[in-house]
Homo-oligomer: A and B are copies of this chain.
């Protein structure tokens, strides 16, 4: 049953890349607010350590979902933005948001 083989199951493949709550919240911010600086994400994702945030951003960058853009300003500025491939996650984010909207409480 190939679909159940972790190598070929598309759900497993999706989770391998975005199956982490901080990762999904980073994506949420980039979808809702556009390009964000590290510091913006850190202020938004209360409870995520800088190391956790760095690791998640690096993984998303490696998978081509986001890109880091540097601006040679004074002081230099860098921000993270969704790539075209990253924007393909729109339906996943929308489905999560729609479902979450119908849930009544945080627990």
B-binding residues in A (CB < 8 A): 3-4, 6-7, 9-17, 19, 21, 24-25, 28, 32, 44, 46, 63, 88-89, 91-103, 105-107
Contacts and interface: CB of A to CB of B under 8 A. Distances in A.
The quantity of this chain's copies bound in the complex is: 2
B88 A14 contact: no
A97 to B, nearest CB: 5
B28 A97 contact: no
Given A13-B106, A63-B103, 9 more contacts: A6-B106, A10-B101, A11-B97, A12-B25, A12-B106, A13-B103, A14-B96, A14-B99, A19-B24
A106 B9 CA distance: 9
Contacts of A102: 88
